[in-house]
Amino acid sequence: MDDAIMVVKWGNARVKHVFVVDDEKSIRDILCKYIENEGYKVTVFVNGESVLPELGRLRPDLLVLDIRMPGMDGIELCKEIRRTSEIPIIFVTAKGEELDRILGLELGADDYLTKPFSPRELVARIKNIFRRMEKTSPSTQIQLLDLKLHQDRRILEKDGVEIRLTAKEYELFEFMGVHRNLPFTREQLLLKIWGYDSIVEDRLVDDLVKRIRKKLAASYSAVQITTVWGFGYRLDA
């Protein structure tokens, strides 16, 4: 079997392209079927090593990535991808592998699912990510102290230099930037950014805020995301 197998939905040249990376054939087959049925182009991979050479050539719009694989696992692959790309990544992790899940989120994964999961749930999350990425706002620029947010291009800049954000990092920063100086609970942010209700762990929000804070600090920006103790977070600008 080839390391990469392409399944193409012909027609619309603008169709979204999804990479599915999993060493279990049964999972690859069913995910490919469900994602393809939504009209997306799908390329499946049996291991992490075969993905990297294809990123630049095929330019996918999203990755569905299993954490536990022989050879280069999902964590290592995510590290390599994040060196050069902020492409959305949905991690798939076995039940109970909390450490791997946390590491994946800290590395910049946009979402995760725990096996066993419903393929329909995965498709819903893929569509949610694409929908948010394509959403436009009447206001195309927001000035936040020393930062400029270009909503039409989904870019954050300081002094003309881009601060690279993943899809979910951008969405959280944009939402809090639009509503700057207002506090939000973790549950409100979960619902707004992921579309989940309060049964989902608060760790998703905490990890995302931690990553954004690190990037703001590295750029020496005056903008801060402040912890409102006993409540949630607020973007001070």
Model pLDDT, residue 17: 94
Does the pLDDT at position 3 exceed 90? no
Tens digit of pLDDT for each residue in 4-40?
A: 554 444 344 478 999 999 988 998 999 999 999 999 9
Are both 32 and 119 inside the same structural domain?
yes
170: domain CATH number is 1.10.10.10
Among residues 108, 134, 160, the one where a domain terminates is 134
Model pLDDT, residue 60: 93
Q: What is the mean pLDDT of residues 196-218?
A: 78
Between 62 and 154, the higher pLDDT residue: 62
Among residues 103, 134, 165, the one where a domain terminates is 134
Q: What is the mean pLDDT of residues 162-188?
A: 90
99: domain CATH number is 3.40.50.2300
Tens digit of pLDDT for each residue in 53-81?
A: 898 889 899 999 998 888 888 888 988 88
Model pLDDT, residue 117: 83
Are both 17 and 119 inside the same structural domain?
yes
Among residues 111, 134, 157, the one where a domain terminates is 134
Question: How many structural domains does the chain have?
Answer: 2
Question: The pTM is what?
Answer: 0.68
Q: Is 175 exposed, middle or buried (0-12, 13-18, 19+ CB in 10 A)?
A: middle
Q: How confident is the model at residue 107 (pLDDT cuts 50, 70, 90)?
A: confident
Mean pLDDT of the chain: 84
Between 2 and 149, the higher pLDDT residue: 149
Model pLDDT, residue 207: 85
DSSP structure string for the chain: --SEEEE---S-TT--EEEEE-S-HHHHHHHHHHHHHTT-EEEEESSSTTTHHHHHHH--SEEEEES--SSS-HHHHHHHHHTT----EEEEE-TT-HHHHHHHHHHT-SEEEESS--HHHHHHHHHHHHHHHH---S--EEEETTEEEETTTTEEEETTEE----HHHHHHHHHHHHTTT-EEEHHHHHHHHT---TTS-THHHHHHHHHHHHHHHHTT-S-EEEEETTTEEEEE-
Residue 17 is part of which domain span? Answer: 4-134
Q: How confident is the model at residue 216 (pLDDT cuts 50, 70, 90)?
A: very high
Model pLDDT, residue 6: 47
